[in-house]
Amino acid sequence: MELNKKELAASFFSLGVAFLFLSYAYSEQIIKPRLYDGSINELGRYSFTFDAYEYIDENSENPIIALGSSKMREIFDGQLIEESTSYNGEFFNLAYAGERPYVRMIEIDAIIDLNPKLVIIEVGPNSFSALSDPAPESIISRMEQLIALNSHWNSQTWKPMLSEQDRDILSFDRIDQIEYFASISPEAVESTLAYKLNFEDPPYSCDFDTGNVRCVPDVDSLEYDSYLKYPIQFRNSLKTIKEGNGKWTIEEFYGDRLDVYLSQSYHNPEGVFNKNQAAYEFMIESLLANDIQVMLVNLPYNPVLIDRLSEGQWDYLNATMENYSLKYDIEVVDYMWSNDLIDDDFNDYTHAARTGEEKFAEFIAPEIDNFLT
């Protein structure tokens, strides 16, 4: 009888191991490709960071990584910056649209494990924007996805930073994370079959010239390394508008539409210490505690937008940056109020066009060299 119990226990253990192996294989072959190409989530880049950290760790020495929103994603050409500095290392762009520090902090343990030479973090009005409690469903969904993908799921130093209401909603143990993958599995399978059988148009392309920013190439693809340094970019909407081929005239684009844009909460600091700011400081302090150097960069904006700001609209951002420069042993670089970029250096109100990327590389390269020497 005792032998049967041991055999039964061994059988359950073997079954568990097989289940975990199959779950991993299924995730890698069916679910992740559909996350990466944006078929079953809002944006492929919301799912790629943990794989990116592992790839960089295995393939790069002395990496420098950039974090931030789509503004950082659009302006940070890691290949160009690498060519412009004397630093002997590689530069990786891991920014994604709509970034919030409260969400990004889930990645902190993986970043620390990577141990980059420098982490360049966007600081801007969106960094300290308002975030309700509990967080909106769209933010909770993004956090659930990151938690499930987290290769450091058993190390959650960021968990105490969550509000009590958000902790009650989110799932943290491995079984819950496997259940998350199970919940998105049917849609992933359906999309995969539809693509294979030509029942639907192909997913978003990852081709750099013709692709869509929603798509992330597979880790094993030839273009993956270059993508991590310089991802697919937005098209130049402002140029199209100025050429008379846009949806709006230039007067309409710089008229009420800009005023509405500037009134949105994401584009303004809340003006009080909130969940996003607490998470932002937690990330800075966690990196410094692990001897990882930090540079905060306030990115340039279209000067037409800057001129439209009301008096004092972003004073909280300026005061916070000044405080951080005194509080922490970090480098704080401010390009927002620079007059070096014109509106032709932007695709729209905030995202850099190619000339803006080139000017930014020229600006940031000596800052990096001076800080690291």
Identify the CATH number of the domain in which residue 207 sits: 3.40.50.1110
Tell me the CB-side half-sphere exposure of residue 337, using CA atoms within 13 A. Answer: 7
Q: Report the C-alpha gap between 366 and 372 in whole angstroms.
A: 10
Alpha-helical regions (H) of 212-314: 224-229, 237-242, 250-253, 256-263, 275-289, 303-308
Q: Report the C-alpha gap between 34 and 341 in whole angstroms.
A: 38
The radius of gyration computed from the CA coordinates of the chain, to the nearest angstrom, equals: 22
Residue 354's domain comprises 2-372
pTM (2 decimals)? 0.91
pLDDT at 17: 38
Number of domains the chain is built from: 1
Per-residue pLDDT of the chain in tens (373 residues, 90 and over written 9): 554 545 554 444 444 434 443 454 556 678 998 999 888 988 899 999 999 999 999 999 999 999 999 999 999 999 999 999 999 999 999 999 999 999 999 999 999 999 999 999 999 999 999 999 999 999 999 999 999 999 887 889 999 999 999 999 998 988 888 888 889 999 999 988 888 888 788 888 999 888 899 999 999 999 999 999 999 999 999 999 999 999 999 999 999 999 999 999 999 999 999 999 999 999 999 999 999 999 999 999 999 999 999 999 999 999 999 999 999 999 999 999 988 999 999 999 999 999 999 999 999 999 999 999 8
Q: Report the C-alpha gap between 219 and 93 in whole angstroms.
A: 15
The encoded tokens of residue 160 equal 């105490």
Q: Confirm if 331 and 296 have CB atoms less than 8 A apart.
A: yes
